[in-house]
């Protein structure tokens, strides 16, 4: 056998070995069923992907195939902790007070193959065996780990590498998601990234939180007041307080007449916490606790660099748009943490900066013949939408409308 034939044989054997290894590893992650789970026809997987062999750092994932025709559906990557996945109406099931799982009619795997990632290490079941890693975690480390995770996950599931990829997240994912997408674009690796969806995103404390305050409410009365009225306010400090109290009472009366439009289990987070800390559940998820005694949503071991809160990421979003990546920014219109007014202002400013004209004017969109929210599209690539009745975690408070919005985004069609 000649040298060239020998080299070709070695390469062929190595390739075959890698393929077998990938198939075996994904098979090892397959879930037969979760405790208390109703019967389903789609496949589920859960386990770990190592992102740093030297420090033995690994990120936990839960992957569910689409309910129907998974071979033709895109891949959706979501980065909330598992507790939020199970309680926010993103997953196929949610825990009940009886300790079993019930089907979720608004699961996002109705529209896509969904990959849920717990990140950074120290969150949920994700871990670092080297505890010193937790001393200072930041956005740069998190984005790099998420990028390595995705690369290595595709080695386990190579059949999904060429699927259309959409990345979604909420709240601080306004940092995680754009930064990961930016790494993907700049890497040149063909992940087939098509779009990112950012729910109630924090793009930066200084840039967005002021949206909670209408500056005219602060200045108008003062600017228009006469000196006499200012003096009266000083002499009667309780008068404005009594007016506020009266307004609050009136508001409470109005709110008490409102009825919830969706059936929401207010205890689902507690039920999820109990469920995920069961031994049999952790074994079914192929999960383990490293350096902690129980699964928790907010880990006290991770010392995250809070200075990252002040870093604006809206320019990263603009870079993605310039690269041809579709961007959806959506907000629950009842969000008091990151109000939709601030997000809408940022998106509108970004559109002007990029020279994008409104291709769909600010208009209402419908879900089940009811107003689902309001939406505006710029240049057929940048979208801002509100979800009527949505809280800071909109898929929890408005699951049906959130799913309708997600489906429209995947299809590339505007909400109508």
Tell me, yes or no, whether 198 lies in a domain: yes
Structural domain span for residue 293: 18-212+267-331
**In angstroms, rounded to a whole number, what is the distance separating the alpha carbons of residues 159 and 43?**
14
pTM for this prediction: 0.81
The reply to whether 182 falls in a domain is: yes
Per-position pLDDT tens, the chain of length 416: 554 554 445 444 444 444 444 444 678 999 989 999 999 999 999 999 999 999 999 999 999 999 999 999 999 999 876 666 665 568 899 888 778 999 999 999 999 999 999 999 999 899 999 999 999 999 999 999 999 999 999 999 999 999 999 999 999 999 999 999 999 999 988 899 999 999 999 997 776 665 555 555 545 555 555 444 544 445 455 455 455 555 555 655 555 555 444 454 444 568 888 899 999 999 999 999 998 888 877 778 899 998 998 889 999 999 999 999 999 999 999 988 888 999 999 999 999 999 999 999 999 999 999 999 999 999 999 999 999 999 888 888 899 999 999 999 999 999 98
User: Is 245 inside any structural domain?
Assistant: no
Q: Is residue 40 part of a domain?
A: yes
Distance from C-alpha of 163 to C-alpha of 191, rounded to nearest angstrom: 8
The string over 255-283, giving b where at least 16 C-beta atoms fall within 10 Å of a residue's C-beta and e elsewhere, is eeeeeeeeeebeebbebbbebbeeeebbe
Q: What is the greatest pairwise CA distance in the chain?
A: 104
Q: What total number of domains does the chain contain?
A: 1
Catalytic residue among 119, 126, 171, 402: 171
172 is written with which tokens?
């601080």
φ and ψ at residue 234, rounded to 5 degrees: -70, -35
- The single residue of 392, 397, 398, 402 carrying the catalytic annotation is 392
* 131/302 Cα distance (integer angstroms): 9
Identified catalytic residue from 128, 182, 335, 391: 335
Domain-embedded: residue 68: yes
Residue 392 annotated to the active site: yes
DSSP 160: G
Q: CB-hemisphere CA count at 13 Å for 185?
A: 22
Residue 71 covered by a domain: yes
CA dihedral 30→32→34→37, nearest 10 degrees, is 130
Q: What is the DSSP string of 316-355?
A: HHHHHHHTT-EEEEEEETT-SSS-HHHHHHHHHHHHHHHT
147: CATH: 3.40.50.1820
pLDDT, tens digit, for every residue of 56-112? Answer: 999 999 999 999 999 999 999 998 766 666 655 688 998 887 789 999 999 999 999
Report the alpha-carbon distance of residue 351 to residue 382 in Å, rounded.
Answer: 8
Is residue 239 a part of any domain in this protein? no
The answer to whether 381 and 359 have CB atoms below 8 angstroms apart is no
Inter-residue contact 187 to 153 (CB < 8 Å)? no
Taking Cα atoms as reference points, which of 326, 348, 333, 346 lies closest to residue 386?
333
Within-domain flag for 394:
no
């Amino acid at each position: 056998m000649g040298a060239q034939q020998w080299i070709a044989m070695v390469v062929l054997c190595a390739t075959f070995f890698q393929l077998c290894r990938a198939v075996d590893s994904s098979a090892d992650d397959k879930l037969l069923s979760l405790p208390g789970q109703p019967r389903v026809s789609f496949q589920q997987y859960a386990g770990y992907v190592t992102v740093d062999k030297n420090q033995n750092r690994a990120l936990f994932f839960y992957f569910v195939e689409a309910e129907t025709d998974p071979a033709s559906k895109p891949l959706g990557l979501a980065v909330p902790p598992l507790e939020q996945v199970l309680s926010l109406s993103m997953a196929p099931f949610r825990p009940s007070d009886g300790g079993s799982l019930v089907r979720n009619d608004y699961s996002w795997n109705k529209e896509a193959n969904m990959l849920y990632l717990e990140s950074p290490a120290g969150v949920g079941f994700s871990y670092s065996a080297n505890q010193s890693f937790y001393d200072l975690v930041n956005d740069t480390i998190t984005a790099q780990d998420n990028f390595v995770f995705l690369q290595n996950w595709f080695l386990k599931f190579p059949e999904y590498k060429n699927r259309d990829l959409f990345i979604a997240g909420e709240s601080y994912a306004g940092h995680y998601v754009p930064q990961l997408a930016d790494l993907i674009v700049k890497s040149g690796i063909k992940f087939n990234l098509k779009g990112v969806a950012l729910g109630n995103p924090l793009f930066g404390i200084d840039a967005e939180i002021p949206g909670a305050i209408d500056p005219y409410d602060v200045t108008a009365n003062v600017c228009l007041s006469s000196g006499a009225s200012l003096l009266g306010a000083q002499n009667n400090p309780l008068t404005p307080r009594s007016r506020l109290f009266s307004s609050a009472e009136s508001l409470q009366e109005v709110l008490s007449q409102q009825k919830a439009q969706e059936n929401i289990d207010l205890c689902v987070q507690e039920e999820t916490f109990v469920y995920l800390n069961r031994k049999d559940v952790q074994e079914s998820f192929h999960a383990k606790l490293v350096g902690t005694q129980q699964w928790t949503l907010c880990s006290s071991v991770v010392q995250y660099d809070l200075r990252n809160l002040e870093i604006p990421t809206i320019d990263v979003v603009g870079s993605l748009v310039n690269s041809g990546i579709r961007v959806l920014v959506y907000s629950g219109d009842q969000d008091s943490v990151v109000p939709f007014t601030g997000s809408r202002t940022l998106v509108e400013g970004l559109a002007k900066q990029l020279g994008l004209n409104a291709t769909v004017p600010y208009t209402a969109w419908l879900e089940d013949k009811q107003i689902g929210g309001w939406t505006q599209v710029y240049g057929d690539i940048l979208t801002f939408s509100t979800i009527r009745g949505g809280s800071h975690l909109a898929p929890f408070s408005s699951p049906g409308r959130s799913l309708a919005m997600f489906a429209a985004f995947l299809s590339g069609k505007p909400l109508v």
